[in-house]
Amino acid sequence: MMTNLFSVFDPSTPYLLSCNWVSIIVSFSFLPLLLWVSPCRVNKGFLDLYTYLISEFKPLVNKLVYTLILPTTFFMIIMVGNTVGLLPYVFTYTSQLSMAASLALPVWVSMMMYGWINNTSNLLAHLIPLGTPSILTPFMVLIETISNLIRPLTLTVRLTANMVAGHLLIVLLSSANPAPMPLTPIIFVSNFTLLVLELAVAFIQAYVFSVLITLYMSEFSN
């Protein structure tokens, strides 16, 4: 029984037997098979998507093209987690702050370490945008420093908040049943429309997360 609106994100199994996280393994268990089976529509779809991502991200990191394996991998992880989480009785691990933070924080720390060790002058130059008046220089340095420090937080909250908001709307509309007979078709169409919208959000949020990671890498490497 749902005690409150946010209880849909609570584990549905005991603490010592938390099978919710098994959805991560189940989601990716079929992906390695795409490398071995004969060509099919699923295989072609993933290859076309991967090719599109490479073509989109490549202009952002001209010097370190091999680093694109990181944002494309994040895209696949988040996309699969978002879409599979729309299935009934499946745990949406991307709606948890711990999962999103485990993706954003290590990447940000590694990029900061790489940038300060190998490209210190470029990082310092990013603290003062070109054309900044001298009187505003201290304020711009402070603002840019805070902006760099909160990047893992913004990545985490953006992904989690969007997934939680969509799931809460679905739960709110679904809880309206049983509804009066005249309103049943309207609620059904609304649920279906919201589900399609949430499916689009699942891809968009994965793409936004990957693009931001690529932009951050370009700042630390160029």
Q: What pLDDT, on the 0 to 100 scale, is given for residue 70? A: 83
Number of domains observed in the structure of the chain: 1
What's the whole-number average pLDDT of the chain?
76
Residue 208 burial by Cβ neighbours in a 10 Å radius (0-12, 13-18, 19+): middle
Give a yes or no: residue 2 inside a domain: no
* pLDDT tens string 91-123: 777 887 888 888 888 888 888 888 788 777 777
Q: What are the structure tokens assigned to 17, written together?
A: 């037997």
CA gap 75, 69 in Å, rounded: 10
d(CA 101, CA 157): 9
Domain limits at 185? 10-221
Contact 205, 73 (CB under 8 A): no
H helices of 85-136, in order, are 97-118, 120-126
Q: Say what the pLDDT of residue 17 is.
A: 47
Asked whether residue 67 is domain-assigned, the answer is yes
Domain-located, residue 3: no
* 180-209: average pLDDT: 81
Q: Span 196-209, mean pLDDT? A: 88
Residues in the chain, overall count? 222
Output 74 or 188, whichever has higher pLDDT: 74
Q: From CA 74, how far away is CA 147, in angstroms rounded?
A: 22
Question: Does 45 fall in a domain?
Answer: yes
Question: Does residue 80 lie in a domain region?
Answer: yes
Q: CB–CB of 42/189 below 8 Å?
A: no
The string of pLDDT tens digits covering residues 1-13 is 455 555 555 555 5
Amino acid, single-letter form, for residue 54: I
Q: What is the pLDDT of residue 34?
A: 55
How confident is the model over 113-135, as a mean pLDDT? 76
Residue 222: what pLDDT?
59
In a domain, 4, yes or no: no
Does the pLDDT of residue 31 top 70, yes or no? no
pLDDT band at 18 (very low <50, low <70, confident <90, very high): low
171 lies in some domain: yes
Long-range contacts, 49-55 (Cβ 8 Å, 24+): 53/210
pTM value is: 0.77
> Which amino acid is present at 103?
L
Residue written as token pair 């584990």: 11
The answer to whether residue 1 is domain-embedded is: no
Least confident of 27-41, 50-64, 71-85, 108-122: 27-41
What's the rounded mean pLDDT across residues 36-46?
Answer: 67
Cα–Cα dist 114/64, whole Å:
13
Token pair for 76: 């696949």
Residue-wise pLDDT for 145-194, tens only, equals 888 888 888 888 888 888 888 777 777 777 665 556 666 777 778 778 88
